[in-house]
Chain A
Amino acid sequence: MTDIVRGSEDISCVSAATNAVSTGAVSVANGANNTTSLLPQEKSLVKLTHIQKSYGNVCVLQSISLHINAGEVVAIIGPSGSGKSTLLRCATLLETFQSGTLAYGDLVVAKNDAHGHAIYAPKSVLKEAKSRFGLVFQSFNLFPHCSVLHNVTDAAIRVQKRNRDEVMTQAHALLAKMGLSGKEKMVPCELSGGQQQRVAIARALALNPSILFFDEPTSALDPELTRDVLKVIRDLAAENMTMAIVTHEMSFARDVADRIIFMEAGVIVEQGTASELINNPQHMRTKTFLSHYA
């Protein structure tokens, strides 16, 4: 395989994109606590610009633009099938998109060629990009045969080739922060779902990412177990960790997010500060969606 992956041509997506409501991050925000998105674009930790993604003929993302600034917490909401997971999967290189630009800081992961096809950077660049973000899955995806400590430390040691003692010290501190001290030697199946998800968060943090993505981190959990996971995310937000969180927990999104993005049918319909978007949605579709959570 060559180092360059070329997205396949897709006409349906291109035509649909012209109708897209999406305007990108910089266009909103006059809310009081949303000053971050007014910062110059260069400060963005991650820049997704005009992303188009389709599966076969089905266009799933239609010219989505999303720039996330350092220290910002972005919540992504929207009905099932609107493309929220796909957006995170494109940002975390689990999926390739056909058109658009993706950059982590100064590191350009993919950009369009003259024909508007996304061209991905060589593997070495992709590998470096992977050290800049972390992803927490709905289903945890811990390595079941490895101890908690091994889950948290292995990638830092094996992939990032960092000093073992330093990684161990960091891992113990992270696990303590997650309320998991004393569980280092256990294997995931001995933990509750909420504990497993917190191990997964520690595992992602151990690589010192500049941004952490969450795809419905509490959807697989019983209500009483979600609380601890949400608390951990709140704590991270208080420490100015940059995060993008796909969630159905509306009150959590309102509390923790600096900006809420409402997606539907592969476009960003509306975005704004938490209070703006939830208390005063501008679009009919946003109102309809939010009414289900009233």
Chain B
Amino acid sequence: MDLTLILAMLGEGFLVSLQIFILTLLGSLPLGLLVAFGRMSRIKPLSWLVQIYISIMRGTPLMLQLMVVYYLPYFGFGISISDNYRFIATIIAFVINYAAYFAEIYRSGIQSIPHGQYEAAGVLGYSRSQTFIFIVFLQVVKRILPAVTNEVITLVKDTSLSFVLSVPEMFTTAKAIAAAQKSMIAFAVAGVFYYVFNAIVAFIMNRVEKIMDYYHD
């Protein structure tokens, strides 16, 4: 098998990895904000439930979470699982896992906004939701960008964990090629793919941080 073929196969796997990456961010970034609100809720039982959820997501391996989400419908409820559920289960597991991490990041950002901002907004007549959307949120984004960048870079690498569900993403493909070829080349090429992808992610996040540098407080 020549390098072009390896590249082609890994490229195809990479597109699957990219899908997992994008769908996970699209799901977990908004969900994380909701979870953060639940965590900070004045309704104590809700806050406790959310805290338990966060601690489980952060305290157990993502690989195990992938397996549980995949097998739970069958072993838990006797629902037979179709083959395309592999990909869906992967996305579900990634989204709920990353939402927990993002929630804690949002929370720290929201809690770091000085109380005076809320007071100024309150006196000017902004409602609570207006205050959050127009005054607090952008400031939170600036404050949490470095932490979010860390998570996003971790996510790029974590997509490889979906090999446990045999989702045909890049790492699964590389493993298959390596086994068939009895060679490390596919792994090396996959490593380059991950590295370059992360370099691009870091570059983009860096640009966003620069854009937010127009003010400091």
* Binding stretch for chain B, among A51-59, A65-73, A133-141, A286-294: A133-141
Chain A residues whose CB sits within 8 angstroms of the CB of B116 once the complex forms: 137, 139, 141
Contact A144/B122 with A139-B116, A158-B130 known, Cβ cut-off 8 Å: no
Q: A145-B215, A189-B215 are in contact. Are A130 and B135 (CB under 8 A)?
A: no
Chain A contacts of B147 at CB under 8 A? none
Partner of A187, one of B117, B124, B215: B215
- The 8 A CB mask of A122-163 against B (1 = contact, 0 = none) is 000001001101110101011111000000001100111000
Complex CA distance for A24 and B135, rounded to whole angstroms: 38
A92 CB contacts on chain B under 8 angstroms? 123
Q: Which residues of B contact A133 (CB under 8 A)?
A: 123
Determine if B124 and A207 form an interchain contact, defined as CB atoms under 8 angstroms apart.
yes
Inter-chain pairs besides A137-B119, A154-B134, 5 sampled, C-beta below 8 Å: A93-B123, A94-B123, A141-B120, A142-B120, A145-B215
Given A188-B215, A189-B216, answer yes or no on A145-B125 (Cβ-Cβ < 8 Å): no
CB proximity to B under 8 Å, residues A213-262: none
As a 0/1 sequence over residues 194 to 217 of chain B, the CB contacts with chain A under 8 angstroms (1 = contact) are 000000000000000000001111
A172 at the interface (CB under 8 A from B): no
What total of chain B residues lie within 8 Å of the partner, measured CB to CB? 20
The verdict on A203 contacting chain B, using a C-beta distance below 8 Å, is: yes
Between A and B, 5 residue pairs with Cβ closer than 8 Å are A94-B119, A130-B123, A131-B125, A142-B120, A187-B214
Hey, which chain B residues are within 8 Å of A131, CB to CB? Answer: 125
With a cutoff of 8 Å between Cβ atoms, the chain A residues found around residue B215 in the complex are 144-145, 187-189
Q: Could you tell me the distance between the alpha carbons of A92 and B122 in the complex, rounded to whole angstroms?
A: 9
Nearest-neighbor residue (CB-CB) of A203 within chain B? B124
Q: Cβ of A207: which chain B residues have Cβ within 8 Å of it? A: 124-125
B131 to chain A, nearest CB (A): 10
Q: Are B124 and A145 in contact (CB under 8 A)?
A: no
Residues of B within 8 A of A203 (CB): 124
Interface of A with B (CB < 8 Å)?
92-94, 127, 130-131, 133-135, 137, 139, 141-145, 154-155, 158-160, 187-189, 203-204, 207
Chain B residues 108-141 with CB under 8 Å of chain A are 114, 116-117, 119-120, 122-126, 130, 134-135, 138-139
B125 touches A130 (CB 8 A): yes
Residues of A contacting B216 in the complex (Cβ-Cβ under 8 angstroms): 144, 189
Q: Which residue of A lies closest to B117 (CB)?
A: A141
Residue of A nearest to B215 (CB): A187
A159 touches B117 (CB 8 A): no
Shortest CB-to-CB span from B72 to chain A, Å, is 38
Does B107 belong to the interface (CB within 8 Å)? no
User: How long is the Cα–Cα vector from A93 to B123 in the complex, in angstroms?
Assistant: 7
Q: Which residue of A lies closest to B130 (CB)?
A: A158
User: A145 and B123: CB pair below 8 A?
Assistant: no
Which residues of chain A have C-beta atoms less than 8 A from B123's C-beta? 92-94, 130, 133-135
**B139 CB contacts on chain A under 8 angstroms:** 144-145
Contacts of A188 in B (CB 8 A): 215, 217
User: By the criterion CB–CB under 8 Å, are B119 and A141 in contact?
Assistant: yes
- Return the chain A residue nearest B124 by Cβ: A155
Contacts of B135 in A (CB 8 A): 143
Task: Determine whether B175 belongs to the interface, using a CB cutoff of 8 Å to chain A.
Answer: no
* Distance of A155 Cα from B125 Cα, bound (Å): 7
Verify if B157 is at the interface (C-beta below 8 Å from A).
Answer: no
Give the residue of A93, A94, A144, A159 whose beta carbon is less than 8 angstroms from that of B130.
A159
Cβ distance A8 to chain B, nearest Cβ, rounded Å: 16
Of all chain B residues, the one with the shortest Cβ separation from A139 is: B116
Known contacts A144-B139, A159-B130; A127 and B125 CB within 8 A of each other: yes
A207 to B214, CA, bound (A): 27
- Chain A residues lying within 8 Å of B217, measured Cβ to Cβ, are 144, 188-189
Contact B119 A160 (CB under 8 A): no
B119 touches A145 (CB 8 A): no
- Name the contact of A94 in the complex, choosing from B114, B122, B125, B138 (C-beta under 8 A): B122
Per CB-CB distance, the 4 closest pairs between chain A and chain B, nearest first, are: A141-B120, A141-B116, A144-B217, A155-B124
CA distance A287 to B124 in the complex (A): 38
Q: State the Cβ distance, B32 to closest chain A Cβ, in Å.
A: 21
